[in-house]
């Protein structure tokens, strides 16, 4: 059993920044990967960033590389996504996820309910 609760979504101007948080509970995450997916209208959910909970290895999709930073705070079982230089095309529902393989979208088994991020142009 894993419960994931996102927070931090909202409205932001293009070029601005936003930080998403995901509080995880239910089991130890020592053997888990965590990540942030996003889904825009008419598009499939995509893995924007992933992290290995134990090793801190990270993955970023090319479109966010250099602008987004994924991190985790182990003691709080909390995942973060720092989003800088936001673009209108970043408008999407962002989902926190947990699974086994941080860089493989198919490796995620649990998802939060999502938080809306809207970037105005």
Q: With cut-offs at 50, 70 and 90, classify the pLDDT of residue 28.
A: low
Model pLDDT for residues 31-71, shown as the tens digit of each residue: 689 999 999 999 999 999 999 988 999 999 999 999 999 99
Instruction: Compute the distance between CA of residue 116 and CA of residue 56 in angstroms, rounded to an integer.
Output: 26
Of 15, 4, 35, 7, the closest CA to residue 117 belongs to 7
For 74-85, what is the mean pLDDT?
95
Contact 39, 45 (CB under 8 A): yes
How much is the pLDDT for 63?
97
Mean pLDDT estimate for the chain: 94
With a pLDDT cut of 70, the percent of the chain lying above it is 96
Of 90, 91, 92, 95, the closest CA to residue 114 belongs to 95
């Amino acid at each position: 059993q894993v419960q994931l609760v996102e927070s931090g979504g909202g409205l932001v101007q293009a070029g601005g920044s936003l930080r998403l948080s995901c509080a995880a509970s239910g089991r130890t995450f020592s053997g888990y990967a965590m990540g942030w997916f996003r889904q825009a209208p008419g598009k499939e959910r995509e893995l924007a960033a992933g992290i290995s909970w134990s090793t801190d290895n990270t993955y970023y999709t090319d479109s966010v590389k250099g602008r987004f930073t994924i991190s985790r705070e182990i003691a709080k079982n909390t995942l973060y996504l720092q989003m800088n230089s936001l673009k209108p095309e970043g408008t999407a529902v962002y989902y926190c996820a947990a699974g086994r393989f941080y860089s493989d979208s198919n490796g995620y088994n649990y998802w939060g309910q999502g938080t809306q991020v809207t970037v105005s142009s």
